[in-house]
A and B are shown apart, each in its own frame.
Chain A
Amino acid sequence: MGEKILMKGAEVIAEAAIRAGCMAFFGYPITPQNETPEYFSRRMPQLGRVFLQAESEVAAINMVYGAACTGTRVITTSSSPGISLMQEGFSYIANSNVPCVVVNAMRGGPGLGDIAPAQADYFQATKGGGHGDYHSIVIAPHTIQEEADLMFDAFDLADKYRIMVVVLVDGLMGQMMEPVEFKDWVDVKKFKTPEWATVGQGDRDHRNIITSLSILAEGLEKMNLHLQEKYRKIKENEVRYEEYKMDDAEYAVTAFGTVARISKTTVDMARKKGIKLGLIRPITLWPFPTEIINKRAEQLKFFLDSEMNEGQMLEDVKLAVNGKKPVYFFGKLGGVVPTAEDILKEVEKHIEGGK
């Protein structure tokens, strides 16, 4: 760990990726995350690594796919409309079992939307987005420090499972500045080219082939079963969440990213008023922390799910609670950010309603 510095989230994503051994960036600019490619464009050439502004997001994700096939740590960053353009590539990457990291700094949608922060790409990130039966690991930091730490984990998870890892943030997480301390640099000299990488036959007796294509249905079924087995292992081993003041909680907010951050203030405000409120914050949105939410349902009177969308993670929370307790929702749309007071008012409304 080094000295504390004050950084914007968008800068932190780039700096942390670089320290984690990211060797190549391919992307296309879009607000509100342009500070990230801008930062990469300054730093990558200094280190002899690759920064390339592609002609479009479609080109960028296919460059990522290509680099990923060589086992190189590679990243692209974009924001909602740009991420939509990349979906075909994501699906190819999934069925090719190659590792990469994608950062989505979500903005208001649908369509061109606006440049304000939003969380409306939850479905797209966690339920696929592209075609076919696939998942990506999706992680959602809620502070700039956590962003710095999770970028390292994103690359490690991508390599471990040969999978795409989505770091899901929003414009606000990119523009905010907070003190951060980075983990130590990963020594890229120690990286070994993986056995499966397509970097030339060399001394091997066979050529590696990476593809998402199978002409025979049975062959494709086998590829799918392999993917499903991988997803099962990830669900078993990689679920992450944080509980905040949940031990004696009677009510819980569920939220991720920026709204989780705001909800911590809500919890503190509620506690000052004697309301036993807690927060369950999924850190991995896929795999989703179903078990803990289901377990906590026993002790709680209700859940309030809060998001900057029309209720997307809400569906996963409801599935986890499985009807045991009411799950209410409070959301803001189009780039409007809820305040801690807004969320508290909503909690109090439901407490009042339950009396």
Chain B
Amino acid sequence: MTEFNVKSLLDEEFQIFGGRIGSGKTEIAINIAIAMTKLSIPNVLFDMDIVKPYIRIRDIKDKIAKYGIEIIAPPDVTRRVDLPILPSNIIGKLMDRGKQKIIDIGGDPYGAGAIAQFKNLFHNGSYNFFFVVNTRRPETSNKEEILNEMNYVQSAARLKITGLVLNTHLRWETTEETVMEGYRILKEVSEETKLPIYFACVDKRHKDIVKNLDLPILPLELFVNPLPPLGG
């Protein structure tokens, strides 16, 4: 098992995570920011989720405060109101050339649309736009469905997807077979689209599940779930 090295992303200054709602974008974006911070790579984490009412970066800021990550999120006062607000200082922060910019957009085309207005800031070769897939989620369980969703998301975002991320899991019921099956499906997508699978994610407490996977692994520390899993 090889751990994914975030240094391999540094040729591009924007790391954008999109995908179906509930595919794991938020958790992955946070973990990428933590990995970069640990390596002293200057970075900013953007909460651009205008879709979900809870379970966003702004909701767990306290939990990740200890890592000292710079977070750009809508003001706290808007947390419990139903307003699709983007942070007021977002453009200046997106134009900060000195830092890696990790962007968590909301799920589905509705969420992806939030980034389209900043299209002019993203030039070819300046960004990675990852499509995160959990093949155990509805609407992304096979190649055809995934290709459809990718089309919807990139049309709404007005950006081309540049890579895939495997995040197939069933929370505490994930097995090696769950992940391997996801890998088989995503490989078909990769072959059809010629897009690379950059890495696979796994709950860092159960790394053994992916010991036989020939992809770089991003072990995830989990933050966003509001309640502890059933059965410990």
- Residues of A bordering B, CB below 8 Å: 4-8, 11, 15, 31-32, 35, 108, 114-117, 143, 171-172, 175-179, 258, 261-262, 264-265, 268, 335, 337, 340
Please give, as numbers and ranges, the residues of chain B lying within 8 Å of A35 by CB-CB distance: 21
- Indicate whether A5 sits within 8 Å of B227 (C-beta atoms), given known contacts A32-B53, A172-B54: no
Given contacts A35-B21, A265-B228, contact A115 B53 (CB under 8 A): yes
In the complex, B216 has a CB within 8 A of chain A: no
* A-B pairs, 9 with minimum CB distance: A114-B80, A179-B170, A32-B53, A31-B82, A179-B173, A6-B136, A115-B53, A31-B53, A5-B136
Q: Which residue of B55, B137, B228 is within 8 Å of A7 (Cβ)?
A: B137
Per the bound structure, the CA–CA distance linking A133 and B50 in Å amounts to 43
Could you say which residues of chain B place their CB within 8 Å of the CB of A335? 80
Tell me if B227 and A172 are in contact (CB < 8 A): yes
Q: Which residues of chain A come closer than 8 Å to B141, judged between CB atoms?
A: 5
Please give me the residue from chain B that is nearest to A33 by CB atom.
Answer: B53
Whether B22 and A177, one on each chain, are in contact in the complex, defined by CB atoms closer than 8 angstroms, is yes
Alpha-carbon distance between A15 and B137 when the two chains are bound, in angstroms: 13
B residues less than 8 Å from A115 (CB atoms)? 53-54, 80-82
Question: Contact partner of A116 among B54, B138, B173, B225, CB < 8 A?
Answer: B54
C-beta contact mask, B156-192 vs A, less than 8 Å → 1, else 0? 0000000000000111110000000000000000000
Contact B55 A175 (CB under 8 A): yes
CA distance A340 to B170 in the complex (A): 23
Set A7, A108, A175, A262: member contacting B138, Cβ < 8 A: A7
- Bound CA–CA A340/B229 (angstroms): 12
In the complex, are the beta carbons of A6 and B134 less than 8 A apart? yes
Tally B residues with Cβ within 8 Å of A. 25
CB within 8 Å of A: which of B31-67? 52-55
**Whole-angstrom CA separation of A31 from B84 in the bound complex:** 12
A176 touches B138 (CB 8 A): no
- Docked complex Cα distance between A108 and B54 (Å): 13
Number of cross-chain contacts by CB at 8 Å: 73
Given contacts A31-B82, A176-B225, A179-B171, contact A4 B136 (CB under 8 A): yes
Q: Given contacts A6-B170, A172-B227, A261-B230, could you give 9 more A-B pairs where the C-beta distance is less than 8 Å?
A: A6-B169, A15-B138, A35-B21, A115-B53, A115-B81, A116-B80, A179-B172, A261-B227, A268-B232
Do A108 and B225 touch across chains, with their CB atoms under 8 A apart? no
A18 to B226, CA, bound (A): 28
- Residues from chain A with a CB closer than 8 A to the CB of B169 are 6
The answer for the CA separation of A6 and B53 in the assembled complex, in Å, is 19
Residues of A within 8 A of B232 (CB): 268
A176 to B53 Cα, complex, angstroms? 11
On chain A, the residues within 8 Å of B52 by CB distance are 175
* A15 / chain B contacts, CB cutoff of 8 Å: 138
Distance A151 CA – B114 CA, assembled complex (angstroms) = 34
A171 contacts across to B, CB distance below 8 A: 53-54
Instruction: Verify A176–B80 contact, CB threshold 8 A.
Output: no
20 A-B residue pairs with Cβ-Cβ distance under 8 Å, sorted by A, are A5-B136, A5-B138, A5-B141, A6-B22, A6-B170, A8-B21, A31-B53, A35-B21, A114-B81, A115-B53, A115-B80, A115-B82, A143-B230, A172-B226, A176-B225, A176-B226, A177-B22, A177-B225, A179-B172, A261-B230
The chain B residue sitting closest to A143, CB to CB, is B230
Q: How far is the CA of A354 from the CA of B93 in the complex (A)?
A: 57
Q: Give chain B nearest CB distance to A340 CB in angstroms.
A: 7
Rounded to whole Å, the gap between the CB of B177 and the closest CB of chain A is 11
Determine the residue in chain B with the shortest Cβ distance to A334: B80
* Option from A108, A179, A337 in Cβ contact (under 8 Å) with B80: A108
- Beyond A4-B136, A7-B138, A115-B53, whether A177 also contacts B80 by CB under 8 A is no
Q: Using Cβ atoms and an 8 Å threshold, which residues of chain A touch B54?
A: 32, 115-117, 171-172, 175
A contact residues around B170 at 8 Å (CB) = 4-6, 179
